[in-house]
């Protein structure tokens, strides 16, 4: 299969299009044909290995995972013997900030990782681009006790995380004041 290969940390020039073996799903994994993936802020941080402390997860001297990509939307092509929560041809999307190797034609993912069936009204492109910001947004607001009628100021409300925070807060009935750069 075709994939983006990143064998050393640095700039986008280090990313090369290459051919690699198509992965085989293990018993608890799904094989997914990727229809859309993003280049998000987490991908950029992993490429540059900044902040440095990330290297203890991503690889000290060079990336442990040769293929970048943390978000995806695609269709299940095969499932392992122990997978009964998803089936072939299901449309799914997901995110993992430690790297999913989704900048490729195919990837495998454990059935227990952060993935879900795609809402029917979303395109692959919309689904793939909807997750990273929402993931961090939910991780932040999940730590506080949010009640309907509260007032919250969101600084950076037009960004990936901020626009997701605004939508979660509105869902919980919070009064939002949104601030952006301009």
Contact flag: residue 157 with ligand NAP (CB under 6 A): yes
Residue 49 Cβ vs ligand NAP, minimum distance, rounded to whole Å = 14
> 160-171 and 132-141 helices cross at what angle (nearest 10)?
50
In the range 3-62, which residues lie near ligand NAP by CB under 6 A? 41
Q: Which residue is nearest to ligand NAP (CB)?
A: 159
How far is 133 from 165, CA to CA, in rounded Å?
Answer: 8
Q: Is 169 in the site for ligand NAP (CB under 6 A)?
A: no
Nearer to ligand NAP, 41 or 65 (CB): 41
The footprint of ligand NAP on this chain (CB under 6 A) covers a number of residues equal to 15
Which residue, among 101, 111, 116, has the nearest Cα to 26 in the 3D structure?
111
Please report the DSSP string for 59-112 in residue order: -SSS-SSSS--SEEEEEEEEE-TT--S--TT-EEEEE-TT----SBSEEEEETT
Which DSSP letter does residue 45 get? H
Residue closer to ligand NAP (CB basis): 116 or 179: 179
Q: Given the complex with ligand NAP, which of 17 and 53 has the nearer CB atom?
A: 53
Nearer to ligand NAP, 37 or 76 (CB): 37
CA–CA gap between residue 48 and residue 29 (Å, rounded): 29
The single residue among 100, 136, 169, 174 that binds ligand NAP, judged by CB under 6 A, is: 136
User: What is the contact surface with ligand NAP in residues (CB under 6 A)?
Assistant: 41, 133, 136, 155-162, 179-182
């Amino acid at each position: 299969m075709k994939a983006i290969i990143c064998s050393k940390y640095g700039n986008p020039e280090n990313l090369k299009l290459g051919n690699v073996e198509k992965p085989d799903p293990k018993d608890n994994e799904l094989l997914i044909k990727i229809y859309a993936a993003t280049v998000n802020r987490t991908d950029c941080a992993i490429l540059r290995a900044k902040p440095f402390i990330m290297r203890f997860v991503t690889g000290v001297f060079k990336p442990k995972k040769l293929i970048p990509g943390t978000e995806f939307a695609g269709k299940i092509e095969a499932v392992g013997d122990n997978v009964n929560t998803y089936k072939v041809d299901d449309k799914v999307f997901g995110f993992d900030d430690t790297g999913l190797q989704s900048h490729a034609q195919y990837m495998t993912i454990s059935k227990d990782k952060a993935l879900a069936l795609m809402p029917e009204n979303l395109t692959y492109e919309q689904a793939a681009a909807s997750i990273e910001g929402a993931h961090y947004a939910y991780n932040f607001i999940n730590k506080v006790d949010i009640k309907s009628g509260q007032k919250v100021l969101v600084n950076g409300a037009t960004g990936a995380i901020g626009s997701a925070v605004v939508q979660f807060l509105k869902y919980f009935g919070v009064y939002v004041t949104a601030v952006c750069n301009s």
